[in-house]
Amino acid sequence: MAVETISIHREIVERCKRGDRLAQYQLYELYSKAMLNTCYRMMNSREEAEDMLQEAFVSAFRRLDSFRFESTFGAWLKRIVINHCINELKRRKLELELVEDLHRFETPSETSESSEGKWTVDMIRQAVMQLPNGYRVVFSLYALEGYDHQEIAQILNVTESTSKSQYLRAKRKLKELINR
């Protein structure tokens, strides 16, 4: 069954490798919306997200010969998209705040736990967009994209504890923003 999953859209990808413009358009149509959402979560701006999406697709089409169907095309493309966004944020010198006292964020208050059940997806989405860049990027990579802290640390060139602290601070800030 894993072979079928990895082979999804194989014919379209193979046509793209041969330079078929229609196949490129089909791949773009299949993946652009999901990848735009990923870009938007990372960049916090629709215009910047659209720019990153276009750059990522251009890069993916240029490097398509390196795609070997060892994962799904979507997973391979998502990695390119995330790397483009992170590189742009690094270029702007994304600032991560260091936390000296990590354990102070580990104990949630009783009031925040009881109010969490009333949160809507829209409330959380809006609050995520209000997070400082460092918090938002780490939160998005960990909670939304499924990266672990070791991977995030490697991607952002920070320590694993910095990644964890940024995530904990992001969660705390999200609670503050939503409970206002």
Query: What are the pLDDT digits (tens) for 51-93?
Result: 999 999 999 999 999 998 888 899 999 999 999 998 888 887 6
Please report, for residues 31, 79, 94, the alpha-carbon distance to residue 74 in angstroms, rounded to integers and kept in the order given: 7, 9, 26
102-178: in CATH 3.90.700.10: no
Closest by alpha carbon to 24, among 71, 72, 65, 58?
58
User: How far is residue 80's CA from residue 56's CA, in Å, rounded to a whole number?
Assistant: 6
Residue 144 DSSP class: I
Fold agreement between 2-91 and 102-178: no
**pLDDT tens-digit map of 23-48:** 999 999 999 999 999 999 999 899 99
Q: What is the overall mean pLDDT for the chain?
A: 83
Q: Assign a CATH topology to domain 2-91.
A: Rna Polymerase Sigma Factor; Chain: A (1.10.1740)
Task: Return the domain boundaries, the chain.
Answer: 2-91, 102-178
Query: Where does the pLDDT of residue 119 fall: very low under 50, low under 70, confident under 90, or very high at 90 and above?
Result: confident
> What local confidence, expressed as pLDDT, does residue 94 receive?
56
Neighbours of 38 (CB within 10 A): 21
